[in-house]
């Protein structure tokens, strides 16, 4: 699903009006209906609903929602904040359309606010995508009161005060919504970790924006939906054999961290790879052979650390490396040799990232169009450098991927996948139960298996990250968040694949 900027959203509105030959009021009515429909499914008409409206079309939406909800027996109170001398035309019309039972109250100072407490249901319709400066003054005071009240806040389109697609200035006041119901497409701000407290749980409701316009609108940002990844799945052929599904090589594990190799290996096998060979330090031999009998195990001459590459690298279709590897000098030398000589695609994680990040010489050796990096934010910072904020981090990621012609999966709540062309896809599966040691090792195994099976690097990133999060979501239903461990993800990978293939 494409992510458009605030400016593009306005253009999409205009294109829709023109194409469908409707006026803006009708589009606002659609938006209000879509919101009200979501709201009715979420909240019953028992508690009064307090709707706070701003001067623009977001406020107009709030007024139209007030009318629609009152028709559904909700007890609605409307507050128009500010002097409202310059309301948008559609705001004005919807103010006039309020039924007589709703008398809007103008709020010119916080002293005029109604008492609010935590059982109240608040709809935030102060500002949406039209916000063009930080919220200060009366609006900021009102927002502070709403936030402080503890009432359950649902924001229309955007939590008021939050910029849609750029860094919100520090001095701004922002609504801390429990829910944000956005129109047609998610906003870039929803995917960034620092906005969790403002956006809350977000949902997107369709309002029928012109699909051709949305399709053609240039944007570097997308969110990944189940339909996007479903169509990537390659069915297995009846007369197939293991030789058709690739031979993966995993260079993982170190003394005291052999578990990382086990986690990556099991996940790789559960993701459909034809054959798997592990190269581990010799002290890991028995561990691997016992814990993962399906994998072949080669031992490094070094007892504790990976220090060399296996012979006949041509036997393999992909190399996955990093989990549990450590940062020993011998390992760095082996990675240097790998980058200099190996012609295979590579999935590079954990300490392998740290090793490469620490050496300009290794960075200069990175082969083009053959690497997926899977850093968490700290590893990302080591590899790419520190960024001023999370918007700049997206730009820095795009530049790095362009410069090195590589893919990055920047791991997090919404893992961001960046391509060498500078396109960024945000994943939509996964949960906080996955914030536990070893889940990244599982991802390395999944991605390595998919590349082995002939998925392009881009397909592997999109599909693998989605499946990994989906396995986490399926595990959540069985074990909950707190008790989840990395192996639970691997246990649920088969079900995750089945969810995508419907069998």
Ligand X SMILES: NC(=O)C1=CN([C@@H]2O[C@H](COP(=O)(O)OP(=O)(O)OC[C@H]3O[C@@H](n4cnc5c(N)ncnc54)[C@H](O)[C@@H]3O)[C@@H](O)[C@H]2O)[C@@H](O)CC1
Ligand Y SMILES: Nc1ncnc2c1ncn2[C@@H]1O[C@H](COP(=O)(O)OP(=O)(O)O)[C@@H](O)[C@H]1O
Q: Which residues are annotated as a binding site for K(+)?
A: 58, 124, 160
- Nearest distance from residue 133's CB to K ion, in Å? 15
Binding residues for (6S)-NADPHX: 57-61, 128-134, 157, 260, 324, 376, 441
Site string for ligand Y, 377-416 (x = CB under 6 A): ----------------------------------xxx-x-
If the CB atoms of residues 217 and 319 are measured against ligand X, the closer one turns out to be: 217
Instruction: Report residue 417: phi and psi, to 5°.
Output: -100, 120
Q: How many CA atoms lie within 13 A of 117 on its CB side?
A: 2
Element housing 360 (H / E): helix 360-364
Under the binding rule (CB under 6 A), the answer on residue 441 touching ligand Y is yes
The interface with K ion within residues 2-61 (CB under 5 A) comprises 58
Q: Give residue 85's region: left, alpha or beta (phi > 0; psi -120 to 50).
A: alpha
- Nearest distance from residue 400's CB to ligand Y, in Å? 18
Considering CB distances under 5 to 8 angstroms, the limit depending on partner class, which of ligand Y, K ion, ligand X, none binds residue 124?
A: K ion
Considering CB distances under 5 to 8 angstroms, the limit depending on partner class, which of ligand X, K ion, ligand Y, none binds residue 435?
A: ligand Y
Among residues 13, 29, 124, 165, the one that binds K ion under rule CB under 5 A: 124
The Cα 193–Cα 199 span in angstroms is: 10
If the CB atoms of residues 141 and 459 are measured against ligand X, the closer one turns out to be: 141
Binding residues for AMP: 411-415, 440
Residues in the chain: 503
- Nearest distance from residue 130's CB to ligand X, in Å? 2
Neighbours of 389 (CB within 10 A): 12
- Nearest distance from residue 219's CB to ligand X, in Å? 15
Binding residues: 57-61, 124, 128-134, 157, 160, 260, 324, 376, 411-415, 440-441
Under the binding rule (CB under 6 A), the answer on residue 376 touching ligand Y is yes
Considering CB distances under 5 to 8 angstroms, the limit depending on partner class, which of K ion, ligand X, ligand Y, none binds residue 54?
A: ligand X
The Cα 145–Cα 151 span in angstroms is: 10
Considering CB distances under 5 to 8 angstroms, the limit depending on partner class, which of K ion, ligand X, ligand Y, none binds residue 155?
A: K ion
DSSP classification of residue 192: S
- Nearest distance from residue 16's CB to ligand X, in Å? 7
List the one residue out of 465, 479, 483, 489 whose CA is nearest residue 413.
Answer: 465
The Cα 492–Cα 431 span in angstroms is: 14
The Cα 15–Cα 478 span in angstroms is: 46
- The binding site for ligand X (CB under 6 A) comprises 9, 13, 27-28, 31, 54-61, 88, 127-135, 139, 156-158, 183-184, 207, 209
DSSP classification of residue 482: T
Beta strand pairing call for 424-426 and 416-418: antiparallel
Under the binding rule (CB under 6 A), the answer on residue 432 touching ligand Y is yes
Given CA atoms 388, 390, 391, 394 in this order, what sign does their dihedral have? positive
Task: List the structure tokens of 477.
Answer: 């239903």
Q: Give residue 146's region: left, alpha or beta (phi > 0; psi -120 to 50).
A: alpha
The contact set with ligand Y (CB under 6 A) reads: 350, 376, 411-413, 415, 430-432, 434-435, 437-441, 443, 468
The contact set with K ion (CB under 5 A) reads: 58, 124, 155-156, 160
């Amino acid at each position: 699903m494409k992510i458009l900027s605030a400016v593009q959203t306005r253009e999409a509105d205009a294109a829709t009006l023109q194409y469908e030959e409707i006026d803006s009021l009708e589009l606002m009515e659609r938006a209000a209906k879509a919101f009200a429909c979501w709201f009715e499914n979420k909240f019953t008409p028992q508690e009064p609903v307090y709707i706070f409206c701003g001067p623009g079309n977001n406020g107009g939406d709030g007024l139209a929602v007030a009318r629609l909800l009152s028709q559904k027996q909700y007890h609605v109170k409307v507050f128009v904040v500010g002097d409202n001398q310059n309301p948008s035309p559609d705001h004005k019309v919807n103010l006039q359309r309020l039924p007589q039972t709703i008398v809007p109250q103008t709020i010119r100072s916080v002293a005029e606010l109604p008492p609010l407490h935590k059982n109240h249901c608040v709809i935030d319709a102060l500002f949406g995508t039209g916000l063009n400066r930080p919220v200060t003054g009366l609006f900021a005071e009102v927002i502070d009161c709403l936030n402080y009240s503890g009432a359950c806040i649902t924001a229309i389109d955007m939590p008021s005060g939050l910029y849609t697609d750029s860094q919100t200035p520090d001095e701004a006041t922002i609504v801390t919504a429990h829910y944000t119901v956005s129109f047609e497409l998610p906003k870039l701000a929803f995917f960034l970790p620092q906005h969790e407290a403002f956006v809350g749980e977000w949902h997107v409701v369709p309002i029928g924006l012109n699909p051709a316009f949305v399709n053609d609108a240039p944007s570097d940002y997308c969110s990944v939906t189940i339909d996007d990844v479903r169509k990537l799945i390659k069915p297995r052929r009846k007369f197939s054999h293991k030789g058709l599904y690739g031979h993966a090589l995993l260079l993982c594990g170190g003394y005291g961290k052999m578990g990382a190799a086990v986690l990556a290996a099991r996940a790789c096998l559960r993701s459909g790879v034809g054959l798997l060979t592990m190269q581990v330090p010799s002290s890991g031999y028995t561990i691997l052979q016992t814990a993962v009998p399906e994998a072949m195990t080669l031992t490094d001459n070094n007892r504790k650390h990976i220090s060399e590459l296996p012979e006949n690298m041509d036997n393999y279709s992909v190399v996955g490396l990093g989990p549990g590897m450590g940062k020993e000098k011998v390992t760095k030398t082996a990675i240097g040799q790998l980058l200099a000589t190996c012609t295979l695609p590579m999935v590079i994680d954990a300490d392998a990232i740290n090793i490469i990040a620490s050496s300009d010489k290794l960075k200069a050796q990175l082969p083009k169009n053959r690497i997926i990096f899977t850093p968490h934010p700290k590893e990302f910072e080591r590899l790419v450098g520190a960024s001023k904020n999370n918007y700049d981090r997206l730009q820095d990621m795009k530049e790095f991927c362009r410069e090195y012609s590589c893919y990055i999966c920047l791991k997090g709540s919404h893992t961001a996948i960046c391509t060498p062309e500078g396109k960024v896809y945000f994943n939509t599966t996964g949960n906080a139960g996955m914030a536990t040691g070893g889940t990244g090792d599982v991802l390395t195994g999944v991605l390595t298996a998919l590349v082995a099976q002939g998925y392009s690097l881009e397909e592997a990133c999109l599909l693998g990250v989605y499946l990994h999060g989906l396995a986490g979501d399926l595990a959540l239903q069985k074990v909950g968040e707190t008790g989840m461990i990395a192996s639970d993800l691997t246990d649920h990978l088969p079900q995750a694949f089945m969810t995508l293939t419907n069998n």
